[in-house]
Structure 1
Amino acid sequence: MPLSLASIHRFPVKSCRGESVDSAVVEPWGLAGDRRWMLVDEAGSAITAREANQLLLVHPELTADGLIVAAPDLPPFTISTPDPRTQTPVDLWKSELTAAPAGPEADAWFSKALGQPARLVYLDDPTRRATSPEFSEPDDRVSFADGYPLLVATEASLAALNDVIVERSAGAHAPLPMTRFRPNVVIAGSEAWAEDGWRRIRIGDAVFRAVKGCARCVITTIDPDTAVREKEPIASLARIRRWDGATWFGVNLVPDTAGVTIRVGDEVEVLDAVAPGAGPIRPAV
């Protein structure tokens, strides 16, 4: 079965609900519109769904001028893209940079949605944030994604993981949807875990480097429809996908082409690969 692009997902606000789209422009720092907005606390540090589970219930929708956001028990709210001439310091993991503040009204709306003080910021210039030099090139850049511009996952790997989840629970646990893993692109037609060995792939006319496996965190254990945390999929990943003290699902990508549009149904070709038996690319220990 030939490989193909099964779905495309972008996440306008980091850690909030994503959008499924039929096509997307590939920019150097990720898909157009993906994770350009982020919530920060009063000190400017990123707020993510790891600690603020309610973020997963916030539904942002990109507009020509900014965002429309919705959340349970709150009216929808329209946010304009802020003026980039005003900047505020923010930090995300090891990155320290500046972003444009969305303003007090947006901050008040998100603070109500999260039940804690929060400020919304916009990354007007993604060239400010470099990727990890250990797994990328000096000129590689990323928006407010955790570390790299895109995440790829495969339908076959999710099916293999769900087989384990269902078997371990004796059928009591339903298979998990791909939304638990928040990938940007999902590939159909591969063998399970084949992506571990990918080094360069082509999706339509866009070429990507596969630079690092994705170590999974507690966000995958939070039901995106209820914000309730459970043990899966980390419990089952720990049995079949544990290396170096972490569990792994999906692979981080860096674009080598920019300005190209990818579309659902595009042909996918593996340009360079190694045998996947050693697991994903990961830090040396």
Structure 2
Amino acid sequence: MFVSELYRYPVKSGRAQSLQASPVGLLGLEGDRRWLVVEEDNGRFLTQRAWPLLSQLSATVAASGDLLLETPGQAPLLVAVPADDEDLRGVTIWRDTLRVPDAGDAAAQWLSILLGKPVRLVYCPEPRARYLPSGYGLNSDRAAFPDGFPLLLIGQGSLDELSRRVGRPMEMLRFRPNLVVQGSAAFAEDGWKRIRIGALTYRILKPSVRCIFTTLDPHTGERSADREPLVTLKTFRERDGDVLFGQNLAVDGAGEIAVGMPVEVLE
């Protein structure tokens, strides 16, 4: 088994950035979901679930950590990483509320034009990262702006089996993984507890619960008329009312992960 694909999503719910290698540590892949679009008036987070136009947002992390925003019909915008303790804005993501730096008026205006509503862009410095959902991981584990966990792994064999059942190929990016593993049986990752990739050990924390997001085309944001692949997933991957696909992870320590690295199941 080996890592066949790596993805990060610099802005939550924006387009994926494909990587060949990446530093990895406490908050997952470097630069992954460190930025978040929120409503200007109340700080609530926005995702493609309700704002499919976010599928047209391309964000690239520069070597400096600054963010390059691009979308059709607008000039690109380079956004500097804000200072950790200046222009703090209260934001809400699911059940968590936190205060994080605002990225400034230029970014807010650029994104407000894209979405057609007043929004702000915020950044999560590592010291302000969230705790994981209660009951999962270690007290030291943290996450920036993913739904709940720093890393998501999906086996290619699992997607292949789903595509077979749906009756047409399903794009991996519908499920927004960070790591794709090639060479394992379908849903083998359900039984893993710890794996080693390179010099680092990863802990499997819980299955990923899937929602209407999976029915959105990752390139256009259009919803599939037949509500696939969610309809098919419900027929064989529903447990206690939750539809499960992929596994959430945390990593012990910091290092590098790269496409082609072998994956060893430790437990």
Q: Distance in 2 between matches of 1:157 and 1:121?
A: 34
- Does the CA-based 8 Å contact 1:107-1:119 persist in structure 2? yes
Q: Distance in 1 between matches of 2:166 and 2:76?
A: 36
Q: Distance in 2 between matches of 1:163 and 1:19?
A: 26
Partner of 2:76: 76
Tell me by how many angstroms 1:138 deviates: 1.6
Deviations 1:168-196 (A, max 9, x none): xxxxxx31111111000000000000011
Q: Distance in 1 between matches of 2:248 and 2:103?
A: 29
Q: Distance in 1 between matches of 2:18 and 2:241?
A: 32
- Does the CA-based 8 Å contact 2:43-2:91 persist in structure 1? yes
**Letter in structure 1 aligned against 2:38:** V
Tell me by how many angstroms 1:90 deviates: 1.1
Size of the aligned set, in residue pairs, is: 262
Out of 202, 206, 212, the residue aligned to residue 218 of structure 1 is: 212
Q: Quick one: percent identity of the two aligned structures?
A: 39
Instruction: Indicate whether 1:177 and 2:176 are aligned.
Output: no
**Letter in structure 1 aligned against 2:58:** H
Structure 1 segments of 4 or more deviating over 6 A?
A: none
Deviations 1:85-110 (A, max 9, x none): 31111111111111110111100110
**Letter in structure 2 aligned against 1:23:** A
TM-score of the superposition, structure 2-length normalised?
A: 0.95
- Does the CA-based 8 Å contact 2:152-2:247 persist in structure 1? yes
- Does the CA-based 8 Å contact 1:126-1:143 persist in structure 2? no
Q: Distance in 2 between matches of 1:153 and 1:52?
A: 25
Q: Distance in 2 between matches of 1:206 and 1:25?
A: 11
- Does the CA-based 8 Å contact 2:58-2:70 persist in structure 1? yes
Partner of 2:89: 88
Tell me by how many angstroms 1:72 deviates: 2.3
Q: How does 1:211-250 map to 2 (within 5 A)?
A: 211-230=205-224, 231-250=227-246
- Does the CA-based 8 Å contact 1:126-1:141 persist in structure 2? no
Q: Distance in 1 between matches of 2:201 and 2:122?
A: 30
**Letter in structure 2 aligned against 1:71:** T
- Does the CA-based 8 Å contact 1:26-1:206 persist in structure 2? no
- Does the CA-based 8 Å contact 1:150-1:184 persist in structure 2? yes
Partner of 1:255: 251
Tell me by how many angstroms 1:12 deviates: 0.4
Partner of 1:26: 24
TM-score of the superposition, structure 1-length normalised?
A: 0.89
Q: Mark the runs of 5 or more structure 1 residues left unpaired by the alignment.
A: 167-173, 273-285
Counterpart secondary structure, 2:143: coil
